[in-house]
Structure 1
Amino acid sequence: MCGIVGAIADRDVVPVLIEGLKRLEYRGYDSAGIAVVDGNEVRRVRRTGRVTEMEAAAGAEGFAAGLGIGHTRWATHGGVTELNAHPHISHGVALVHNGIIENHEEQRARLSALGYAFESQTDTEVIAHLIHHHLKNGDGSEPGPDLLAAVQRAVKELDGAYALAVVSRKEPERIVCARMGCPLLIGLGERENFVASDVSAIVQATRRVIFLEEGDTAEVTRDGVRVFGDDGARVEREEHLSDVSLASLELGPYRHFMQKEIHEQPRALGDTIEAVMDTGAFGPTLFGANAEEVLADVESVQILACGTSYYAGSVARYWIESIAGLPCSVEIASEYRYRTAVANPNQLIVTISQSGETLDTMEALKYAKSLGQMRTLSICNVPESAIPRASRLAYYTRAGAEIGVASTKAFTTQLVALFTLTATLAKLRGRLPEDQEAGYIDALRHLPGSVQHALNLEPQITAWAERFAPRQHALFLGRGVHYPIALEGALKLKEISYIHAEAYPAGELKHGPLALVDADMPVVVIAPKDSLLEKVKSNMQEVRARGGELFVFTDQDSNFGESEGVHVIRTPRHVGVLSPIVHTIPVQLLAYHTALARGTDVDKPRNLAKSVTVE
């Protein structure tokens, strides 16, 4: 959601900015722009629509400079217009901003009274004028404080979340940046340095990065970086070598990143379970050095997440309660953070986030910690991101870069991480006999192969997608641990195909949703051969009796076949407790190929963003 890139170098940085913005497109945006300091002037180009349109305009206007900033905007304050696009400029000060400023109306009124004119509806323009205001002396004369000091003073007057990169025509040898609540990092090069909201924006130039902490400000020049903490004192931040590769950001032989990432799941799952395979056992050391102390006497588990990650947590609730014997609740993070929760210091708080920067999940974690709940574990796909850093324990999924907005391999690797947590908690509680532990490890070992078998169903699912493409509504059904997979299937379909889709526990059909069923409402059923299969079959009969058309994902050995109005695709043999992971693959493929048939923008669905860093 929104993206920042900045660069200062001895070479022309405009190609770096453009390439960086293209690599940030996956985050979701509706306009793009760059500003460069060229001599003693700031030049800017902005366009609504895709980065390529802005790139063409910059080329036509001959943009070239050794210092610049760029941005992809996802509209919050103000509509999708060129005037609202970033960068914003105030009297030679240009900036780009991710986040939301909550006291922008108060600051707008104050700055208007001081004579500043506003051309946009954004909260960001407020920051530009505020920084310029702080560049003046107390009597309004210039020059006053330098850009770094002005930014440090300005951010003290902002309420909300921000990541900022600021340049000034009067100080053409540096970028000043600041961070509170939104991710921002600095890339290190030789006689050139970079600023970005995501390492993918600068990986073509450097893999050496510094992650800014909450409240940090920094000065970035060609020759070095100075970072200052919230109190203004100089601080040192550790340098990291990013493991994001250029190859992971390229499509290769695939039509879309979503398709590529669906097919990368056998490898991603294999990489994520590697630590378990190496040790041949479940144990607290998989989660960090202090894990045994944190996990040993846990009394219950609270999972906090949003979107797809919430559905992963919903699967884990079934596992944790049935296998580990612990009470488990799962809550949408954006709701949990605003309710009065009953704290239990012996409860394990588990946060799940692909990016590690999801604002609602981070704020929910902060809220839990404010209640004294310090047993915290993060499951995340991005090392060194904010949520794992704020947690005592972390389990990193090894899905690799996920570019498609609709999460696929991140979801299935989260499920593997949650199953590993479940088995570890069960073992610590004396509920995992050696033979059962060996069976679970063997199931994990065979999981990538089972997922590959499910991927081989793609031609059959493509044929189903042609039938779904003209529909306007769909219903997904599941029971027990597979109900969250039905929820995930409905989410994927509506995210990228724009078909309205809902999911229900199959047993709830007669309590309301059955009223919707007719010949025009396809009903997708997740029906593996488990203890609830006969119940699901009864629910399917309720659909057929109302003229509904059934599309059933089941197992090779489920022992029921196709008939009129009942279409069946069989995944490999039932894989037991890990079945939800295998049954995720078909619903992902159904959503992808339906969207493809409808001609939608699969990787960049309208109105959505990959990393949700605003409330």
Structure 2
Amino acid sequence: MCGIMGYTGYRQALPLLLEGLKRLEYRGYDSAGVAVLESNGIFLKKKAGKLAVLESCLNGCQPAGVVGIGHTRWATHGVPCDRNAHPHLDCRGELAVVHNGIIENYISLRAELSGNGHRFLSETDTEVLPHLLEEIYQGDLLASLLALLPRLHGSYAMAVMSLREPGRLLVARRDSPLVLGLGKGENFLASDIPALLPYTRRILVMEDGEVAELWPDGVKIYDASGRQLTREAFPVEWDAAAAEKAPYPHFMLKEIHEQPRTLRDTLRGRMEGGRVLLPELDGAATYLRQCRRLFITACGTAFHAGLVGKYLIEKLVRLPVEVDIASEFRYRDLLLQPHDVVVVISQSGETADTLAALRLARNLGAKVLAITNVLGSSVAREADWVLYTWAGPEIAVASTKAYTAQVLLIALLSLHLAELRGTLSPSEVTGLAQEIDLLPERVAQVLRQEAEVASLAQRLKEHEHCFFIGRGMDWAVAAEGALKLKEISYIHAETYPAGELKHGTLALITEGVPVVALATQLSLLEKMLSNIKEVKARGAWVLAVTADGEEVAEEVDACLRLPPGDPLFLPVVAVVPLQLLAYHVAVARGCDVDQPRNLAKSVTVE
């Protein structure tokens, strides 16, 4: 992994490849490379580091070719270096391959190929692909690729080109995303839609097990047996400018400030007259009424949204909820029963562990409800029911607007289930729906406190450790706040349910250590104040996030006040100052905010 761009058409390929890869930089990467078909060979250039390093090495070079593939790599097999960067070539230099995913049986394949005299130049699993194709290739790239794929174990989105078949690109996909863009006299391929928006809005999403061939004048899709398939392109309605960060210095800050709009977009058409409308679930009503238990599974930020969802659903629907990290969900002895529902949450809809959890749940007979941000994604296609968060493209690796949209949608789902199952009266549903309707404006109010948050960030920037505490839903929000701080500022941040402090964690509280205390749940406020006093007594510097006001402010060193609202839905609001805090701390420390080290936006390998 992580980003793929390809082109075949009438224009010079190199500038298009570089521009497309730049639009995929948000996915995170540590090296980059391009390969362009010229009349007398394959022009290849690849370098460790950012695209700017690759461009400086090109030094204005313009290979005369109208077909090419490019890649940004996030290291899985082999350290980030020039030789491990993609694309990779066969021994003759006639075949070029880029690949996302992991070839799990590459060791045995590499040993076999080495025994046959093939020379390997990298440590990667990907390099077995051009050499395997070299063994098979007899002048028909499609037939060769179809013969190759059954030998591979693992995941892949790959693009292949041959010096002997100019104008033709071949692609294949299993468990890693790949989209095709349809133009006039030219066609494109990429890992994600934003790379294609400047050139076309007609998109084909490849599905698992499919192979496609691209020529300047057309695209054909085949199944694994080589049978041609019929697929309709769909129009992308995003404005291409939605993927540009101006006038903000970073995509992350832009996306934090987009949250009032994305919340309104996610609400649009889903509430009317105090009622929650989720027409996507009309066909699921009988099953959801009979549901006896919900499982929520996700990774990272989406998992934290699921933690909030557990509290909401159990409170409002009186339905037992289990929340599990997707990478662990797969390896439990799951006790799924008839009428259990599994909810999977994924911003990209391509998260490998979440997708595997979905497939396991369906294989065990459970119904699956997906919450995702990407139309046509694997999660969306394979779930029984789908709820979309209309957050638009999220470019920064650290998720912000996708998270708040996920929590909002879970809140709507909770009210929908409560009405469906009769656990709340119509008037109670109406009252809570009105509270949800106010969330975009309340988030906007918090964003107006950014200067105050930026000032507090100066207090945290010199520390290497920070603690986040909370109770109930505040603990779930604190977990997301800590994740934001550590993933973009590289400060070690830990989250604890505040009541657990006395069971060992207090040993880590020393003079001056920052503690961020969330205190938005009124029913737990007295307990939370006691926990704040515990860390203050050990010398901690405490920043509180609260809607209470003076009672909390008197006990802490600094206080960020939220607009008042029903505590059930304050997690959508309370996370925003934590996002801003992480952002401004990272900026103050000189970190790469949009592309933090070692991380990728879409995690498509296990």
Q: TM-score, normalised by structure 1?
A: 0.96
Indicate if the aligned counterparts of 2:9 and 2:167 stay in contact, CA closer than 8 A: no
Indicate if the aligned counterparts of 1:471 and 1:520 stay in contact, CA closer than 8 A: no
> What is the CA–CA distance in structure 2 between the aligned matches of 1:59 and 1:378, rounded to whole Å?
46
**Structure 2 residue aligned with 1:590:** 581
Indicate if the aligned counterparts of 2:419 and 2:426 stay in contact, CA closer than 8 A: no
Which residue identity is paired with 2:395? I
Indicate if the aligned counterparts of 1:284 and 1:291 stay in contact, CA closer than 8 A: no
Q: 1:478 aligns with which of 442, 462, 470?
A: 470
**Structure 1 residue aligned with 2:122:** 120
Offset from partner CA, 1:418-475 (integer Å, 9 cap, x none): 1111111111111121111111221121111100111111111111100000001000
Q: 2:134 aligns with which of 132, 135, 138?
A: 132
**Structure 2 residue aligned with 1:178:** 172
Q: Kindly indicate whether residue 23 of structure 2 is the aligned counterpart of residue 23 of structure 1.
A: yes
Indicate if the aligned counterparts of 2:86 and 2:97 stay in contact, CA closer than 8 A: yes
Q: Kindly indicate whether residue 114 of structure 2 is the aligned counterpart of residue 109 of structure 1.
A: no
Which residue identity is paired with 1:191? G
Indicate if the aligned counterparts of 1:357 and 1:611 stay in contact, CA closer than 8 A: yes
Please say which of residues 272-281 and 496-505 is displaced more in the overlay. 272-281
Indicate if the aligned counterparts of 2:139 and 2:164 stay in contact, CA closer than 8 A: no
Please say which of residues 60-69 and 381-390 is displaced more in the overlay. 60-69
Indicate if the aligned counterparts of 1:3 and 1:72 stay in contact, CA closer than 8 A: yes
Matches within 5 A, 1:51-66: 51-66=51-66
**Structure 2 residue aligned with 1:291:** 284
Indicate if the aligned counterparts of 1:283 and 1:427 stay in contact, CA closer than 8 A: no
Relative to structure 1, the CA distance from residue 299 to residue 505 in structure 2 (aligned partners, 3 Å threshold; closer, same or farther) is same
> What is the CA–CA distance in structure 2 between the aligned matches of 1:347 and 1:534, rounded to whole Å?
37
Please say which of residues 377-386 and 274-283 is displaced more in the overlay. 274-283
> What is the CA–CA distance in structure 1 between the aligned matches of 2:510 and 2:248, rounded to whole Å?
36
> What is the CA–CA distance in structure 2 between the aligned matches of 1:120 and 1:359, rounded to whole Å?
25
Q: Kindly indicate whether residue 326 of structure 2 is the aligned counterpart of residue 333 of structure 1.
A: yes
**Structure 1 residue aligned with 2:404:** 412
**Structure 2 residue aligned with 1:49:** 49
> What is the CA–CA distance in structure 1 between the aligned matches of 2:188 and 2:415, rounded to whole Å?
43
Q: Helix, strand or coil for the counterpart of 1:162?
A: strand
**Structure 1 residue aligned with 2:594:** 603
CA displacement at 1:171 relative to structure 2: 0.3
Which residue identity is paired with 2:587? L
**Structure 2 residue aligned with 1:199:** 193
**Structure 1 residue aligned with 2:8:** 8
Q: Helix, strand or coil for the counterpart of 2:127?
A: helix
Indicate if the aligned counterparts of 1:23 and 1:200 stay in contact, CA closer than 8 A: yes
Q: Kindly indicate whether residue 357 of structure 2 is the aligned counterpart of residue 357 of structure 1.
A: no
> What is the CA–CA distance in structure 2 between the aligned matches of 1:432 and 1:238, rounded to whole Å?
43
Q: Helix, strand or coil for the counterpart of 1:210?
A: strand
Matches within 5 A, 1:176-575: 176-278=170-272, 280-285=274-279, 287-373=280-366, 375-528=367-520, 530-555=522-547, 557=549, 559-562=551-554, 566-575=557-566
Offset from partner CA, 1:522-548 (integer Å, 9 cap, x none): 110001251000100001111111111
Indicate if the aligned counterparts of 1:3 and 1:21 stay in contact, CA closer than 8 A: yes
> What is the CA–CA distance in structure 2 between the aligned matches of 1:113 and 1:504, rounded to whole Å?
54
Which residue identity is paired with 2:157? A
Relative to structure 1, the CA distance from residue 560 to residue 102 in structure 2 (aligned partners, 3 Å threshold; closer, same or farther) is closer
Q: Helix, strand or coil for the counterpart of 1:290?
A: helix
Q: Helix, strand or coil for the counterpart of 1:63?
A: coil
Offset from partner CA, 1:307-341 (integer Å, 9 cap, x none): 00000000100111111000000000001112211
Indicate if the aligned counterparts of 1:557 and 1:573 stay in contact, CA closer than 8 A: no
Q: 1:164 aligns with which of 158, 161, 165?
A: 158
Matches within 5 A, 1:84-95: 84-90=84-90, 91=92, 92-95=94-97
CA displacement at 1:283 relative to structure 2: 4.5
Offset from partner CA, 1:112-140 (integer Å, 9 cap, x none): 111111010001000110111110xxxxx
> What is the CA–CA distance in structure 2 between the aligned matches of 1:398 and 1:336, rounded to whole Å?
27
> What is the CA–CA distance in structure 1 between the aligned matches of 2:215 and 2:148, rounded to whole Å?
21
Please say which of residues 521-530 and 73-82 is displaced more in the overlay. 521-530
Indicate if the aligned counterparts of 1:200 and 1:244 stay in contact, CA closer than 8 A: no
> What is the CA–CA distance in structure 2 between the aligned matches of 1:96 and 1:172, rounded to whole Å?
17
Query: Between Structure 1 and Structure 2, how many residues are aligned?
Result: 604
Q: Percent identity?
A: 47
**Structure 2 residue aligned with 1:613:** 604
Q: Helix, strand or coil for the counterpart of 1:411?
A: helix
> What is the CA–CA distance in structure 2 between the aligned matches of 1:235 and 1:578, rounded to whole Å?
46
Which residue identity is paired with 1:236? T
Relative to structure 1, the CA distance from residue 551 to residue 126 in structure 2 (aligned partners, 3 Å threshold; closer, same or farther) is same
CA displacement at 1:508 relative to structure 2: 0.6
CA displacement at 1:288 relative to structure 2: 3.9
Indicate if the aligned counterparts of 2:296 and 2:306 stay in contact, CA closer than 8 A: yes
Relative to structure 1, the CA distance from residue 558 to residue 355 in structure 2 (aligned partners, 3 Å threshold; closer, same or farther) is farther
CA displacement at 1:60 relative to structure 2: 3.5
**Structure 1 residue aligned with 2:571:** 580
Which residue identity is paired with 2:199? A
RMSD over equivalenced CA pairs, Å: 1.3
Relative to structure 1, the CA distance from residue 406 to residue 517 in structure 2 (aligned partners, 3 Å threshold; closer, same or farther) is same
> What is the CA–CA distance in structure 2 between the aligned matches of 1:424 and 1:116, rounded to whole Å?
60
> What is the CA–CA distance in structure 2 between the aligned matches of 1:417 and 1:98, rounded to whole Å?
31
> What is the CA–CA distance in structure 2 between the aligned matches of 1:243 and 1:77, rounded to whole Å?
37
> What is the CA–CA distance in structure 1 between the aligned matches of 2:403 and 2:207, rounded to whole Å?
27
Relative to structure 1, the CA distance from residue 210 to residue 529 in structure 2 (aligned partners, 3 Å threshold; closer, same or farther) is closer
**Structure 2 residue aligned with 1:140:** none
Q: 2:140 aligns with which of 146, 157, 169?
A: 146
Offset from partner CA, 1:223-246 (integer Å, 9 cap, x none): 101110122211112211113322
Indicate if the aligned counterparts of 2:31 and 2:51 stay in contact, CA closer than 8 A: yes
- Structure 2: gaps (5+ residues): none
> What is the CA–CA distance in structure 2 between the aligned matches of 1:118 and 1:345, rounded to whole Å?
51
> What is the CA–CA distance in structure 2 between the aligned matches of 1:16 and 1:114, rounded to whole Å?
37
CA displacement at 1:280 relative to structure 2: 4.5
Offset from partner CA, 1:195-215 (integer Å, 9 cap, x none): 111011111111101111110
Indicate if the aligned counterparts of 2:472 and 2:521 stay in contact, CA closer than 8 A: no
Please say which of residues 181-190 and 571-580 is displaced more in the overlay. 571-580
Indicate if the aligned counterparts of 1:506 and 1:539 stay in contact, CA closer than 8 A: yes
Offset from partner CA, 1:50-107 (integer Å, 9 cap, x none): 1122123234433231100000000011111110000001121001000000000010
Indicate if the aligned counterparts of 2:397 and 2:601 stay in contact, CA closer than 8 A: yes
- Structure 1: gaps (5+ residues): 136-143
> What is the CA–CA distance in structure 1 between the aligned matches of 2:286 and 2:130, rounded to whole Å?
48
Which residue identity is paired with 1:118? F
Please say which of residues 239-248 and 478-487 is displaced more in the overlay. 239-248
Q: Helix, strand or coil for the counterpart of 2:55?
A: helix
Which residue identity is paired with 2:512? D
Indicate if the aligned counterparts of 1:490 and 1:501 stay in contact, CA closer than 8 A: yes
> What is the CA–CA distance in structure 1 between the aligned matches of 2:512 and 2:108, rounded to whole Å?
52
